[in-house]
Amino acid sequence: MNTKKLLLGMAMLCPAMIAIAQNPLVNTDFTADPTARVFGDRVYIYPSHDIPAPDDYARKDWFCMADYHVYSSDNLTDWTDHGVILTQEQVPWGNPKAYSMWAPDCIQGKDGRYYFYFPDAPAEGQGFGVGVAIADSPTGPFKPQPSRIEGIFGIDPCVLQASDGHSYIFWGGGGLREAQLKDNLLELADDTPSEVRKMGDREMRMTGLDAAAGLPAGFKEGPFAFERDGWYYLTYPWVPDSAAVAQSTELQKLGMRMSGTETLAYAMSRNPMGPWEFKGLIMAESPTGCWTNHHSIIEFKGQWYLFYHHNDYSPGFDKNRSMRADSLFFNPDGTIRQVIPTNRGIGVTDGLKHIQMDRGTLSGGAFIEYNNTSDTLHRFEGWKVRLPKGGKSVYGNVSLPEGEFQALVSTTSSWGRRQQIKQLAETTLQITTTQQKNGLFTIEMVNNGKDTVDVDWITFVTRKPLFSDYFEPSQGKSILPDQNGFIRRWNILDPIDKPNNTNTVFVDTYLRKAFNADYSEQTRNLEWHQLDSKRWNVKLFRFASCRDKQVYGVLFFAETVIDCNETLNNVRLSAGSNSASMWWIDGKEVLLLSGDRRMVQDDGQSQRLTLKKGKHTIRCAVINGPGMSDFCVRLLDSNGSPVTNYKILSK
Amino acid sequence: MAKTFISKRLALVAMVCSLAATAWAQEGQPYIHDPSTLAECDGKWYTFGTGGGGLISDDGWHWHSGAVRPGGGAAPDVIKIGDRYLVVYGATGGGLGGGHNGVILTMWNYTLDPESPLFNYSDPVQVAASDGMEDNDAIDPGILLDPNTGRLWVSYGTYFGNIRLIELDPRTGERVAGNEPLDIAIDCEASDLLYRDGWYYLLGTHGTCCDGVNSTYNIVAGRSREVTGPYLDNMGRDMLAGGGRMVVAAERRRTGAGHFGRTVIDEGVEVTSFHWEADYDMSGRSTLTIHPLLWKNGWPEAAPQFKGGNLSIISERRGYALELGVDFVRQPQERAHWFNVPADAPVTSLPEQKLSDVIKTWPEGEIAARIGDYMFRPHQQWTIEPVPEAGGYLSAPYFRILIEGTDRALAATADMEVTTVPHYTGADNELWRIEQLTDGTFRIMPKQIPGQKSVNTKLVLYSAGDSTPTIAPYDFHSDNSKWRFK
């Protein structure tokens, strides 16, 4: 517990960016009952904070919440944890050891300040009260009022700021209670009605209206009210009575599994105080078996969203929950289309960052597993998707800049977190991108191989330079020099390991020795490649790097054969290279470029040469420490003009 | 006779040696690598280097550490746009045989003075990056605000592939939307851009960096009519093919010129700032240096810093020499008509006129200066010496100008004429700022006119007539403002 507190303290000082993006929204803590609010151009979420029961809390199998965090995002993908905003020890009227900081809400008052409503167990008396803490910023610091709101006995406050200019508070306790707030947002209106309710053998005076009175039985807790297009919506967790459902074809049509856990249901009214007319389900029971659900609904940048929770990271204990969100849509008559929970969730995923393909829509036998199942908290390490042959994941709303990309795939071994990052070409996965109407991309990943593949995430990286950008295999018997006389057809040997940390050693003596040494032992397993360079400079660096060969501290040999139709008099071999190089014609050294060379066209030239009609072999060696090895070579005539009237043969 | 001649030469040699033994470079602690283009802020000069931090100078000659640039990384550049300074830098260090995931960032500041309450860098904005695999390493940025179009350009890159050009928004320092990088050179480092007289110039550093006295670093240039290139050298060779005409390479006792920056002081007065990889007179450390920048047939060349010496001062107007207004003393010579000299007569060497031959004929007090036929006579021979304690002005310290062998000093008068005082006093009107102009001539400015409050930056030694020197406003378009040394 101490460790946990320390971590929380640090979080307060240093907001943490969490880029998990998909559902659940964050993986740093358990988060439940998310109340999302839009302040300015950011979404703020005020959830409950589930923790594993500490030593001083006896109810190990019960909800346990000691404080609140607030999270925010401006893109619904990257969430910032602003740290602790209120603890149970700070509440003047609360029991500092009750661990009962249940579902809160937060609104901005007309005075610009932020009013944070929260339930807590009182230090004296039983049950729950609701308090208010006030801050100048949505992320606090929040200062709790000295006492609870008089008249509220219950949990899960929600404040509706209605277009009629008044604010209304809803809570759970003796039914779904509703009352108008005074303008100070701290007290119930003076004319708030009340009634006496029997709670077991006790009689209690309950303030406010029971908004659920006219609704099908089964309201549980966590009301959330909002307003849209002249309608007020009262939404709430609901566990319908199975007998009532059995008698009602209307209720049967709602698609409930009748698992006895909470659905999210709603009612509508033209008035903030009702009467409320039941309309149906927003979300059916949790597929993970989480008994509770608790939610909020907001509009952000033209789209409506439902925030809710499941117990994704704690499948064995449904009181350690994780908040989620999905898009929500309305029918033309204002009714709500049922939301099917997805793992993909909301927001745009940056394709150049991790794309959690396990959160996609899975088919073909694909299924998700935890990356690490060793204990509850390790499940925060997330999921992977297992793709058998034909298994598929489709993941939408990914942003990609223009350009060419290749996919990197993070695969996980079956025994834990150890990851391998593989280029797509090395896997049996097929990844296709399809542009959506909104300009974003849908990523489809299919396993075409026989073996099952585990994928944690994929990401797109700028396309690595390809061998084919620089070279192609020589075709045809011969080619001509290019229009500037550069010789582009070469037979090139794989790089020979020749360690050099710098290029400063390339003095003439060293080079003569290095270039004329016997490399037969080292070259036994190396191959020659007959290639045509696509560029005037033969990019040896790419010759090596694109085939994952050594690029630094290497020695290259290249050879070509030219066939002169007539004798070439007074020509010079003109070369440039990165770094040093030596040049031979028919076995005779004609040029040495020593020192730390960079690619300079016509850097050095041979003495005047006569190349008789017929074939001649041009050979070069290029050495480099840490450089981008390349060379260029051509024959120049006595005027310095390129010679082009000869053929270059394949060896 | 012969004996005197030899001893005089020895004295000259000794003087040259003593000059060479003195450190000749920016004074103070000018230790830096990859200095950004000099920036002036509230009367002080600033330059930033690789690794963070930078140097400050009150006069451009004496430098000390203290400039502040957060972000580390490599090879920054700085430019003033409006009332703000835009600093651009490579956030990574580049990798020798290692990673090439480079990032170029820009940030603004209203001042470069870390003591100022306004000193506050804006959050850095990324304007370019390299992914470590492509033929480019996004570090070493150089910046140009195009005076024709107002558009802002940055060149960047290293020996790992190509130098690239991008465009920024001069209002925000951010990359112009949709702007694609353009390859403009291969295998350079520490590139920079400049515009002059209808041409865009791309400067790049070639050779080996960071190897002390063995560094071969040198700065070359190509030019283009368009900022987007192609940048061709004097041989018509594209910098994408390794082309480049030398701007500055090693000079005696200083090696490894890198990271060009250009500063225009006045019309026809330009300097280039760069670093020496090793200054032999500064323990072989990497130092800031500032040299006159000359333009020859449309090509930039860094000239050596002016060091003074025993020199004649020749007017560009007429080619006469600056001299004391004293009697011309004829030199005796035994002469015979040429037809009376036997063909086989021995050849002898004649002595030059000596100071001691004439000095007694000179008045003792002030002697006005004059310009006359150059006759290498003592009243035309000047010793131009640096006065280190007098400060400096970017490419040199202030000098005193004495008649050789005396302490008679050239001085500006309160009524803006030129005289010589019998004994050098160190007064500001006896100190001279000597700058080589872009055409290779020099301008010679008194540090201060007696009675005037501020340091003079406008008035120069001037040919009023062929024979009459005066002090008048500098005009690059008039040879009256210009002088040569002989």
How far apart CA A443 and CA A256 sit, in angstroms, is 32
For range A175-179, the mean pLDDT = 93
For range A350-368, the mean pLDDT = 91
The CATH-assigned architecture of domain B308-330+351-485 is Trefoil (2.80)
The strand pairing partners of A435, in sequence order, are A441
For range A249-259, the mean pLDDT = 82
- The pLDDT assigned to A423 comes to 66
User: Both A570 and A627 in a single domain?
Assistant: yes
- Look up tokens 């006045």; give the residue: B266
Which range is least confidently modeled, A422-436, B176-190, B197-211, B388-402?
A422-436
Min Cα separation B135/chain A (Å): 8
User: Both A509 and A538 in a single domain?
Assistant: yes
User: Both A121 and A264 in a single domain?
Assistant: yes
CB contact (8 A) between residue A600 and residue B133: no
- The CA distances from residue B77 to A306, A489, A556, B69, B107, in Å, are 49, 42, 37, 11, 11
Rg (CA), chain B: 26
CB contact (8 A) between residue B97 and residue A626: yes
How far apart CA A396 and CA A512 sit, in angstroms, is 60
User: Both A61 and A163 in a single domain?
Assistant: yes
Mean pLDDT, chain B, rounded, equals 91
Q: Using an 8 Å Cβ cutoff, are A633 and A618 in contact?
A: yes
Range of the domain at A249: 2-328
Q: Smallest Cα–Cα separation from A20: which of A402, A433, A367, A379? A: A379
Chain B's closest residue to A576, CA to CA, is B242
Task: Confirm whether A340 is domain-assigned.
Answer: no
Which residues belong to CATH 2.115.10.20 in chain B? 26-302
User: Both A472 and A390 in a single domain?
Assistant: no
Residues in chain A closer than 8 A to B134 (CB atoms): 462, 465
Strand, helix or coil for residue B4:
helix
In this complex, how many residue pairs, one in chain A and one in chain B, have their CB atoms less than 8 Å apart? 63
Q: Using an 8 Å Cβ cutoff, are A514 and A557 in contact?
A: no
Q: Using an 8 Å Cβ cutoff, are B216 and B276 in contact?
A: no
- The pLDDT assigned to A626 comes to 86
Min Cα separation B240/chain A (Å): 9
- The pLDDT assigned to B9 comes to 36
Chain B's closest residue to A598, CA to CA, is B187
DSSP string, A375-432: STGGGGG-EEEEE-TT-EEEEEEEE--SS-EEEEEEEE-TTSS-EEEEEGGGSSEEEE
Residue type, B67: A
Q: With 80 as the cut, is the pLDDT of residue A311 above it?
A: yes
Q: What residues of chain B have any CB closer than 8 angstroms to a CB in chain A?
A: 96-98, 131, 133-135, 159-161, 186-188, 206-208, 211, 214, 216, 237-238, 241-243
CB contact (8 A) between residue B211 and residue A502: yes
CB atoms closer than 10 angstroms to residue B4: 10
CA angle, corner B101, sides to B97 and B105, nearest 5?
130
Task: Confirm whether A561 is domain-assigned.
Answer: yes
Residues in chain B closer than 8 A to A486 (CB atoms): none
Q: How far apart are the first and last CA of chain A?
A: 75
CB contact (8 A) between residue A625 and residue B97: yes
Q: Using an 8 Å Cβ cutoff, are A575 and A581 in contact?
A: yes
Q: Using an 8 Å Cβ cutoff, are B251 and B258 in contact?
A: no
User: Both A186 and A266 in a single domain?
Assistant: yes
Most B CBs within 10 A among A460, A463, A534, A596, hence the mutation to make, goes to: A596
User: Both A74 and A219 in a single domain?
Assistant: yes
Q: With 70 as the cut, is the pLDDT of residue B1 above it?
A: no
For A517-566, the pLDDT digits (tens) are 999 999 999 999 999 999 999 999 999 998 889 999 999 999 999 999 99
For range B305-332, the mean pLDDT = 96
How far apart CA B120 and CA B114 sit, in angstroms, is 8
Give the total number of structural domains in chain A: 3
CB contact (8 A) between residue B96 and residue A602: no
Cα-flanking dihedrals φ and ψ of residue A305, to 5°?
Answer: -135, 145
Residues in chain A closer than 8 A to B208 (CB atoms): 502-504, 596
Q: Using an 8 Å Cβ cutoff, are A52 and A376 in contact?
A: yes
Question: Does B230 sit behind a cis peptide bond, omega within 30 degrees of 0 on the bond before it?
Answer: yes
With 0-12 CB in 10 A as exposed, 13-18 as middle and 19+ as buried, what is B44? middle
Residues in chain B closer than 8 A to A553 (CB atoms): 97
How far apart CA A104 and CA A81 sit, in angstroms, is 16
H or E segment to which residue A11 belongs? helix A2-13
Q: Using an 8 Å Cβ cutoff, are B164 and B104 in contact?
A: no
Rg (CA), chain A: 36
How far apart CA A155 and CA A159 sit, in angstroms, is 13
User: Both A244 and A361 in a single domain?
Assistant: no
Min Cα separation A549/chain B (Å): 14
CB contact (8 A) between residue B187 and residue A578: yes
Q: Using an 8 Å Cβ cutoff, are A559 and A639 in contact?
A: no
CB contact (8 A) between residue B131 and residue A461: yes
Residues in CB range of B275: below 8 A, 6 or more apart: B32, B33, B34, B35, B49, B256, B257, B258, B259, B286, B287, B288, B289
Min Cα separation A286/chain B (Å): 43
Number of H helices, E strands in chain A: 7, 47
- At B119, the pLDDT band (50, 70, 90 cuts) reads very high
User: Both A162 and A286 in a single domain?
Assistant: yes
- Look up tokens 């987007």; give the residue: B228
CB contact (8 A) between residue B241 and residue A599: yes
**Residue from the list A553, A595, A598 with its beta carbon closest to the beta carbon of B242:** A598
CB contact (8 A) between residue B159 and residue A628: yes
What's the 3-state SS for A212-269?
Answer: CCCCCCCECCCCEEEEECCEEEEEEEECCCHHHHHHCHHHHCCCCCCCCCCEEEEEEE
The strand pairing partners of B384, in sequence order, are B309, B401
Q: Using an 8 Å Cβ cutoff, are A485 and A643 in contact?
A: yes
For range A494-518, the mean pLDDT = 92
Which of the 8 DSSP states describes residue B419? E
Residue type, A463: R
Does the domain spanning B26-302 belong to CATH 2.115.10.20?
Answer: yes
Number of H helices, E strands in chain B: 2, 34
CATH number, domain with residue A8: 2.115.10.20
**Residue from the list B133, B186, B207 with its beta carbon closest to the beta carbon of A465:** B133
A625 at interface of B, judged by CB pairs closer than 8 A: yes
DSSP string, A530-542: EEEESSSSB-HHH
CB contact (8 A) between residue A603 and residue B242: yes
* Alpha-carbon dihedral angle through residues A557, A562, A567, A572, given to the nearest 10 degrees: -40
How far apart CA B8 and CA A234 sit, in angstroms, is 109
CATH number, domain with residue A362: 2.60.120.260
CB contact (8 A) between residue A603 and residue B241: no
Q: Using an 8 Å Cβ cutoff, are B382 and B406 in contact?
A: no
Active-site residue set of A: 33, 221
- The CA distances from residue B171 to A323, A365, A611, B83, in Å, are 42, 55, 61, 11
Q: Which residue has the higher pLDDT, B93 or A616?
A: A616
- At A208, the pLDDT band (50, 70, 90 cuts) reads very high
- At A420, the pLDDT band (50, 70, 90 cuts) reads low
Q: Is A479 left (phi over 0), alpha (psi -120 to 50) or beta?
A: beta
Q: With 80 as the cut, is the pLDDT of residue A470 above it?
A: yes
- At A333, the pLDDT band (50, 70, 90 cuts) reads very high
User: Both A509 and A627 in a single domain?
Assistant: yes
How far apart CA A233 and CA A236 sit, in angstroms, is 10
- The pLDDT assigned to A464 comes to 74
Task: Confirm whether A339 is domain-assigned.
Answer: no
For range B296-314, the mean pLDDT = 97
- The pLDDT assigned to A15 comes to 54
Question: Does A579 sit behind a cis peptide bond, omega within 30 degrees of 0 on the bond before it?
Answer: yes
How far apart CA A495 and CA A491 sit, in angstroms, is 12
For B398-410, the pLDDT digits (tens) are 999 999 999 999 9
With 0-12 CB in 10 A as exposed, 13-18 as middle and 19+ as buried, what is A402? exposed
**Residue from the list A504, A598, A601 with its beta carbon closest to the beta carbon of B159:** A598
- Which residues 425-464 of A are in CB contact (within 8 Å) with B? 461-462, 464
Q: Using an 8 Å Cβ cutoff, are B189 and B159 in contact?
A: yes
User: Both A278 and A402 in a single domain?
Assistant: no
Q: Is the ipTM beyond the 0.95 threshold?
A: no
Task: Confirm whether A293 is domain-assigned.
Answer: yes
How far apart CA A461 and CA B312 sit, in angstroms, is 66
- The pLDDT assigned to A258 comes to 80
- At B67, the pLDDT band (50, 70, 90 cuts) reads very high
Residues in chain B closer than 8 A to A628 (CB atoms): 135, 159-161, 187
For B229-286, the pLDDT digits (tens) are 999 999 999 999 999 999 999 999 999 999 999 999 999 999 999 999 999 999 999 9
Q: Which residue has the higher pLDDT, A270 or B28?
A: A270
- The pLDDT assigned to B14 comes to 36
CB contact (8 A) between residue A600 and residue B243: yes
Q: Using an 8 Å Cβ cutoff, are A608 and A638 in contact?
A: yes
Chain A's closest residue to B99, CA to CA, is A626
Most B CBs within 10 A among A506, A577, A578, A601, hence the mutation to make, goes to: A601
- How far from chain centre, in Å, is Cα A55? 36
**Residue from the list B161, B206, B242 with its beta carbon closest to the beta carbon of A601:** B242
Which residues belong to CATH 2.80.10.50 in chain B? 308-330+351-485
How far apart CA B255 and CA B280 sit, in angstroms, is 8
CA angle, corner B192, sides to B186 and B196, nearest 5?
115
Between β-strands B27-28 and B62-67, what pairing exists: parallel, antiparallel or unpaired?
A: parallel
Q: How far apart are the first and last CA of chain B?
A: 25
Which of the 8 DSSP states describes residue B396? -
Biggest alpha carbon–alpha carbon distance for chain A: 119
Min Cα separation A44/chain B (Å): 24
Q: Smallest Cα–Cα separation from B72: which of B100, B44, B33, B16? A: B33
**Residue from the list B97, B159, B241 with its beta carbon closest to the beta carbon of A601:** B241
* Residue burial A1-12, b: 16+ Cβ < 10 Å; e: rest: eeeeeeebeebb
Most A CBs within 10 A among B134, B135, B137, B179, hence the mutation to make, goes to: B135
CB contact (8 A) between residue A504 and residue B159: no
User: Both A410 and A279 in a single domain?
Assistant: no
Q: With 50 as the cut, is the pLDDT of residue A4 above it?
A: no
For A10-33, the pLDDT digits (tens) are 333 445 555 555 899 998 899 999
**Residue from the list B97, B188, B206 with its beta carbon closest to the beta carbon of A552:** B97
